[in-house]
Amino acid sequence: MNITLLVMYFPPEIGSASHLFYEFAEELTKRGHKVTVVTTFPREYNLNKDELHLMSKYKRKAFLREKIDGINVIRVRSLQAPRDSPILRGLEHFFVPLSVTLGGLFAKSDVIVVYSPPLPLGLAGWVLSKIKRVPLIVNIQDLYPQAAIDLGLLKNPILIEIFRVIEKLVYELSDHITVHSEGNKQHIAEKVPEEKITVIPNWHNSDIKVSDRYNEFRKKLGIIDKFVVTYAGIMSYSQDIETIVDAAALLKDKKDIVFLLVGDGPQKGDIERKVELLGLDNVLMLPFQPKEKYSMLLAASDVCLVTLDANRVKTPVVPRKLNDIMAAGRAVIANVPLDGDVPKIVREAECGYCIEPKNPENLVEAILELYNNPHLVEKFGRNGAEYARNNFAIGVCCSKYEKLFESLRKFK
């Protein structure tokens, strides 16, 4: 089958969208499908330092065909906004679909799958699906515009109304919608018939395996004999990372407990200053890790944290890091709203604890419970790994997509 994937970011860029659709394209290609990814040119700020040299082959080009690990990739030039300009980055979300629509004309398609956000990319998918007379599936990862409104990123009433119209159009014009959690499905089912929506979890990073925690990562950081509590991901104001720092402050006299805060984002500077102000030598801050080191990072951990700020994140969401942590066989402490999808998964898998956000005392209590009970750490890790194998493996999720492709083609 000829499968066209539309996505704003793709390797060598880092980030969830890039990794998720790269692994999707790779698995589909292994299964004998002919996959074409239509995307934009990489943004320098989205590359790891050791991959910046790759930018030279993309300069001064408006259109490029290339192969990445056997995957056909079509790149088209579009507006690329500076990292620190929210207004221009918002405009970028409208320019990218225009470019991707042109690029998509050169892809042979039996079905089109769009990664959203950006939400307007769904309209590009619809235009191409009509031209090519093929089914359109829109994979909704974040519930825009509501998520942006809740985070305070979208305040202008006119813009809010424009995005609500786009949201309605994308939902109605798509042939099918996929979401990663039941909560997302129920949210969208308020706008379109429930049978038009399928829950397919985000797959975990395919490189992640259960492995020994006493690895080179620990040795390099000098924490070989420590109890390691890890947060790895974007450092934004929606993640409640300050609660982690407050918990570390309460535990700073426990010299054999260390916190790893790994990642980048708009709040990182604030977090670094707070750690320095409090004199926390039990907190180590690291940048985003390359894909091959990320699995070692998780393996080096005893406990991994999933955090969300309940005051800012009001739409359903399951951070992909949860799937990765479980696949790595590590115990989870989820510092998240207790009525969301994450606690349901953690309880069903029996892989850790869930606590209310913004409560460092409760976080400390959960950490100490695991610190004092190594058998629980092992049990939660085993349970999580088994659940991930059965539910979050790329093969399991890709098979669900293949069934969906076939059913939509028959319907068309």
Q: Are residues 98 and 247 in the same domain?
A: no
Same domain, 266 and 367: yes
Q: How many CB atoms lie within 10 A of CB 182?
A: 14
Does the residue 73 lie in any domain? Answer: yes
In this prediction, residue 56 has a pLDDT band, given cuts at 50, 70 and 90, of confident
Averaged pLDDT for residues 51-70 = 85
Report the mean per-residue pLDDT for the chain.
91
* Residue 306: strand pairing partners: 334
Flag whether 258 is in a domain: yes
Residue 225 pLDDT > 90: yes
The enclosing domain of 291 has a CATH number of 3.40.50.2000
Distance CA 408, CA 402 (A): 10
Burial class (CB in 10 A: 0-12, 13-18, 19+), 270: middle
Report how many domains make up the chain. 2
What percentage of residues in the chain have a pLDDT greater than 90? Answer: 68
Q: Which element (helix H / strand E) includes 336?
A: none
79 in any annotated domain: yes
> Both 271 and 149 in a single domain?
no
* One domain for residues 231 and 379: yes
Same-domain pairing of 263 and 294: yes
Domain range holding 179? Answer: 2-203+393-411
Residues 270 and 293 placed together within one structural domain of the fold: yes
pLDDT digits 0-9 by tens, 74-94: 999 987 877 776 677 777 888
42-51, 96-105, 178-187, 386-395: range with lowest mean pLDDT: 42-51
Read off the pLDDT of each residue in 92-101 and give the average, rounded to a whole number.
89
**220 and 140, same domain (yes or no):** no
Residue-wise pLDDT tens digits, 313-359: 777 789 989 999 999 999 999 999 888 899 999 999 999 999 998 99
Q: Examine the pLDDT at 151 and tell me if it is beyond 90.
A: no
- Position 172 pLDDT exceeds 90: yes
Residue 208 in domain = no
Residues 35 and 85 in one domain: yes
* 407 and 270 assigned to the same domain: no
The larger pLDDT score, comparing residue 252 to residue 81, is at: 252
Q: What are phi and psi of 23, to 5 degrees?
A: -65, -35
Give the span between the Cα atoms of 119 and 222, in whole angstroms: 44
Integer Cα distance of 412 and 18 in angstroms: 29
Whether 266 and 172 map to the same domain: the answer is no
> Which residues is 74 bridged to in the sheet?
38, 65
363 — pLDDT class (breaks 50, 70, 90): very high
pTM (2 d.p.): 0.89
44 and 118 in a single domain? The answer is yes
- Name the more confident of 215 and 237: 215
- 211 found inside a domain: no
Residue 209 lies in a domain: no
Question: What is the model's pLDDT at position 82?
Answer: 74
pLDDT band at 52 (very low <50, low <70, confident <90, very high): confident
Domain identity same for 17 and 32: yes
CA–CA dist 200, 180 (Å, integer):
5
Closest Cα to residue 46, out of 22, 21, 16? Answer: 16
Select from 323, 379, 303, 306 the least CA-distant residue to 208. 323
Contact 282, 302 (CB under 8 A): no
Does residue 210 lie in a domain region? no
